[in-house]
Amino acid sequence: MSDDWRLTPPQHLSMPRYLGIDYGERRIGLAVSDPTRTIASPLTTLTRRPGKRPPWAELERVIREKEVDAVVVGLPLDLEGAETSWSREVRDFAARLETKTGLKVHFVDERLTSVMAEKAVRGSNLPKGRREEKGRVDEAAAAIILQSFLDRERTRNG
């Protein structure tokens, strides 16, 4: 597979989907918007080995299957809102994703999304074993990140 898999946005979609990403050291939580770009839903979690490159082939597959035309990545900031060394790593990942796909990447402050995601997963009606799956929180965090972006865009575009 070529290292560059630029995608052309699907021509038949009037309102393509956004992909939300909670990029972590061990897992990458993914969420997707509905075609109207109103609601974000948890999608899946990709596993990555610390220090290894992200699972590009799996990301490409998800982007193609879900007909994504833009990506929203959670940007980890410290409690004062400053960037950290992990913020730089996330920005590097996002820049590489943008280069590989040709898709626009947006950032959303992800402070406290993991806490909100844990509460949401714990409060869900899933059986206890499913609620405790580590990837479920990452997917929920990606959905919170994406929903935050969708709400902000809707307010901005009024």
Q: Other CB atoms closer than 10 Å to residue 77's CB: what's the count?
A: 16
Pairing of β 68-75 and β 40-47: unpaired
Domains of the chain, each with CATH number or no CATH: 17-157 (3.30.420.140)
Q: 62, 30 in Cβ contact below 8 A?
A: yes
Give the per-residue pLDDT at 32.
98
13 pLDDT band (50/70/90 cuts)? very low
What digits encode the pLDDT tens for the residues 64-79?
999 999 999 999 988 8
Contacts of 134 by beta carbon, 8 Å cutoff, 6+ apart: 27, 45
What digits encode the pLDDT tens for the residues 89-144?
999 999 999 999 999 999 999 876 665 555 655 655 655 555 455 667 789 889 99
pTM of the model: 0.80
Query: Residue 4 above 70 pLDDT?
Result: no
Give the per-residue pLDDT at 1.
46
Give the per-residue pLDDT at 131.
47
**If you search the block for the tokens 């709400």, which residue do you land on?**
151
